[in-house]
Amino acid sequence: MTWTLTLDGDGYETARERFAWDLPDDYNLAYDLVGKHDPDRPALHQAYPDDRRETYTFGDLDTLSDRLANGLAERGIERGDRVAVVLPQRPENVLTHLACWKLGAISLPLSVLFGTDALRYRLDDSGARVVVTDPDVTGTALDVAPDCDALEGVVEATHGGIEDLGGTEGITGAENATAPTEGATAFAECLAEEGFDAAETDADTPAVVLYTSGSTGPPKGVLHGHGVWVGHCPAFAMYFEHDLDGVYWTPADWAWIGALGDLVFPAWHYGQPVVGYPMAGFDPETAFSLLTEFNVTGAFVPPTAIRMLMGIDDPTERYDLALEAICSGGEPLTPEILDWAETELAGVVVNELYGQESRCRATMSRSSIPKPASNARAARSARSPSGVVTIRWSFANTGTNPKRPRPRRWATGI
């Protein structure tokens, strides 16, 4: 089951006519994201504020997630169970998702910024049986656990808690791990034997629950199947200009669909490495340093963070950047950002996207396909008198039912 989604054709109309989903009948997210690739190829460049650096290959992630799947299974986690992930940009975050998808369990990404009430509500509402936490969140998880009927365990990703993979360079040994908070189990203790026979799945098999923001009432959990992240890949290819060989990074929280769905998992679908860095608060100097150190070619950066980057004078003189394209979303992308990227970043393309927890991505501002727009400014010129960008509806799949596609926003400005 080795399959990769492609956008064929030099122009929009040709690409649209040739496009098809064609997900394999036995599609499994974990295999698609890590198992199908060269095991020696770098998948995750992990950096930390204390200057530690780790490199994980696709083979490392495959092996570690096998071990975690076995460990979770030994603790009673099985097909259909919910496992919450409350971790920053750390390897344990993505490993937990991968292990769940191998088990046929359902992962639940949650932000480390959630307070007591927000975390309690989502853990209880989702029926999570286990929550994997950062040490800064473990206390809150333990406090709310008595109020969450289904919750049976708290697993803490202690600092330095991933066991050595038989000498794999750069991976911290368990001997350096700190002790877990009382009442929690250390993540390293959940790493069992290697080798795991993944559950039988297809694109419809439940895989992840994403919660809405709660702006119109209590947050609502949206259940997606294994095909959900593939639904983001056409947009990924477009807002990163079809040239997908590179390195990818985002400062966004790995609990947000904008980070996982718009960058991390699509990059891995295409076999490209990502950079992880648990940034407590956005710092533009650190961001430029990471972009330079890891030769990042594509980044997802929210507009507010871009405006902070704009405060750095002469970035191309101070930093040796390999950056080619930025995608952005979540708030308005204003003209001064485009002007800054054109002049101060030597013409780096900035493309815009938007979407919801219950939908796939919509991409605005494709610069290499003449339609729908040549760049973000042209896309804005295509607005109707009411100020709304016109949208052509195309049948694209959310991943939950590939045989009965529903209309999804495919492109704007048409």
Check whether 9 has a pLDDT greater than 50.
yes
Yes or no: domain 12-23+228-412 corresponds to CATH 3.40.50.12780: yes
* Band (400; pLDDT cuts 50, 70, 90): very low
The pLDDT score that the predictor gives to residue 393 is: 30
The per-residue DSSP string of 20-36 comes to: -----TT--HHIIIIIT
Structure tokens at 146: 């008595």
Query: If 0-12 CB within 10 Å is exposed, 13-18 middle and 19+ buried, where does residue 131 land?
Result: buried
Is the model's pLDDT at 376 over the cut of 80? no
Read off the amino acid at residue 346. Answer: A
Domain ranges of the chain: 12-23+228-412, 71-221
Strands 42-47 and 53-57: antiparallel
Residue 120, phi then psi, degrees to nearest 5: -60, -45
Sign of CA dihedral 132, 137, 138, 140: negative
The domains spanning 12-23+228-412 and 71-221 adopt the same CATH topology: yes
DSSP state of 185: E
Q: pLDDT of 304-334, one tens digit each?
A: 999 999 999 999 999 999 999 999 988 888 8
Mean pLDDT of 72-81: 97
pLDDT value, residue 1: 56
CA-CA distance, 46 to 278, in Å (whole number)? 9
pLDDT of residue 331: 83
Find the range with the poorest average confidence among 137-141, 170-174, 247-251, 253-257: 170-174
Cis check for the bond before 372: say yes or no (omega within 30 of 0): yes
Task: List, in order, residues 6 or more apart from 72 with CB less than 8 Å away.
Answer: 83, 99, 100, 103, 105, 130, 190
Q: Which of 183, 70, 79 is nearest to 135 (CA)?
A: 183
Name residues whose C-beta falls within 8 Å of residue 222's C-beta, 6 or more positions apart in sequence.
Answer: 209, 210, 211, 212, 357, 358
What's the confidence (pLDDT) of residue 255? 96
Lowest-pLDDT choice from 210-214, 223-227, 250-254, 355-359 = 355-359
Question: Could you give the CA distance from residue 380 to residue 374 in angstroms, rounded to a whole number?
Answer: 10
Instruction: Tell which residue, 286, 301, 256, has the closest CA to residue 49.
Output: 286
Q: What is the pLDDT of residue 352?
A: 87
The winner for highest mean pLDDT among 248-257, 345-354, 389-398 is 248-257
Q: What whole-number distance in Å separates Cα of residue 11 and Cα of residue 414?
A: 14
Provide the residue type at 383 as one letter. R
pLDDT in tens, 352-368: 887 665 554 455 444 55
Helices and strands in the chain, H and E counts: 14, 17
CATH architecture of 71-221: 3-Layer(aba) Sandwich (3.40)
pLDDT number for residue 120? 98
pLDDT above 70 for 377:
no
DSSP state of 329: -
Question: What is the structure's pLDDT at 155?
Answer: 97
State residue 261 phi and psi, 5-degree precision: -85, -30
Q: What integer best gives the mean pLDDT of the chain? A: 84
183-187, 257-261, 319-323, 383-387: the lowest-pLDDT one: 383-387
Backbone angles phi, psi at 72, to 5 degrees: -65, -40
Helix, strand and coil percent figures for the chain, each rounded to 5 = 35, 20, 50
Q: Judging by DSSP bridges, how do beta strands 185-186 and 153-156 pair with one another?
A: parallel
Angle at alpha carbon of residue 99, lines to 98 and 103, rounded to 5°? 120
Sheet of strand 82-86, all strands in order from the earlier edge strand to the far edge:
185-186, 153-156, 128-133, 82-86, 106-109, 206-211, 221-225
For residue 330, the model assigns a pLDDT of 81
pLDDT of 351 > 70? The answer is: yes
